[in-house]
Amino acid sequence: MDERAKLLGRGAFGYVYLCTRSDTEEMVAVKTILEEDTEFAEDEVRNLKKLQQFDPDQNCLVRFNRYQEIQKNYLLEFEKLDMNVQDFLEQSSRPLHLSEIQVITQQMLVALKALKSIQMVHGDIKLDNIMWRNQQLEPRNIKLIDFGVAQDVCELRCGDILQLLPQRAPEVLLGLPLSEAVDMWALGSVIASLYINNELYSSTCELDGTWKLKTECSCPTGNISTSSTTSGKSSLHQHEDTQAFVSLLKQILEVDPRKRISPSEALLHPFLTLTNFPSDLTEDLSDNKAAASISTIRLRSLVSPCLGVRAAACVSPMVV
Ligand SMILES: Nc1ncnc2c1ncn2[C@@H]1O[C@H](COP(=O)(O)OP(=O)(O)OP(=O)(O)O)[C@@H](O)[C@H]1O
């Protein structure tokens, strides 16, 4: 690899560089994983090989071309993507419109449906792992990346720690049996955070996360009305598109993973068939942190009835 290759991004395990294939002249993204993380590289390659049974474009998954191992250092070659959602938000400094959130939700549900069909859990659904192929030219073409910590459901054990805290599912926090449903929860947290431009459940440690889930999920919905007059979002209830979004979110952020909506079911939800987004025209949260924080509280309140206090009732081997 050319030493002057442009760095496209980096994560905990690897640096991703822009490279040109000498045989086809195609621009590709090459993730380098060094010797100390060989185990992660091997896991990622194993997962990516399994995913090669899917058409990556039809299933919203990053295309994995090939890999090379050089003295326990790994080079993984992928199609070159454009920008991850986190970077886009930072660069554009505006929250996404509901129509844009609809596209991301739909594409990620397609990816999760494919993973569920082979009982694979991604385990790290977050804004940095959702990328546009070409944000400007193909805003509807979105891919899920980073299968470094993905696992087969049958490998998951109670008490395994997956996901970053803001996206961590209740059953992970509580040390309960785990399934593909953890990715649905994480997707719910991600799309909620896109809407409110803030983490839905931010927490600094597991105990804090469990406590927040218990308290915030059981707060009375009556609080909503007091905030509505000062919010930039005049009313979360006002538009059909917002109502449809909250309705889907409630079913995704269902505390009980057995009752949580599946990717296939969610793909049929009315929010994903909407073509008209009046709230895109009337709701503007840019540079309005106060409104964003109020919306956070209100969205939590709207979603909370479905969460209920069941979380608190769960017996947790991790927190007792
Ligand atoms: N195919 C790609 N095309 C362009 N950029 C990419 C591609 N894959 C990854 N990147 C960039 O590199 C970053 C890190 O990639 P990736 O998430 O695979 O690394 P990681 O070390 O596994 O990260 P993490 O810390 O999340 O585990 C991504 O957020 C993205 O910005």
Contact 291, 239 (CB under 8 A): no
Contact 253, 189 (CB under 8 A): yes
The last residue of one of the domains, among 17, 45, 79, is 79
Q: What is the pTM of this model?
A: 0.84
Which of 8, 37, 165 is the best mutation target for the ligand 1 pocket, counting ligand atoms within 8 Å of the beta carbon and taking the most? Answer: 8
Of 164, 296, 167, give the one whose Cα is nearest residue 219: 296
Ligand 1 atom 18, closest CA: 146
Tokens encoding 193:
């955070």
Give the domain range for residue 25: 6-79
- pLDDT tens digits in sequence order for the chain, 320 residues long: 555 689 999 988 889 999 999 999 999 999 999 999 999 999 999 999 999 999 999 999 999 999 999 988 999 999 999 999 999 999 987 889 999 999 999 999 999 999 999 999 999 999 999 999 999 999 999 999 999 999 999 999 999 999 999 999 999 999 999 999 999 999 999 999 999 887 776 655 555 555 555 555 444 333 323 233 334 444 555 688 999 999 999 999 999 999 999 999 999 999 999 998 988 877 555 444 445 554 665 666 666 544 443 333 333 333 32
- Quick one: which of 224, 190, 214 has its CA closest to 302? 224
Contact 270, 320 (CB under 8 A): no
CATH of the domain at 12: 3.30.200.20
The reply to whether 157 falls in a domain is yes
Same domain, 98 and 180: yes
Is there a single domain that holds both residue 25 and residue 122?
no
Binding-site residue positions = 31
Do residues 33 and 14 make contact, with C-beta atoms less than 8 angstroms apart? Answer: yes
Question: Do 105 and 223 fall within a single domain?
Answer: yes
Tell whether 283 and 155 lie within a shared domain.
yes
Claim to verify: residue 200 and residue 274 sit in the same structural domain: yes
Provide the domain count of the chain.
2
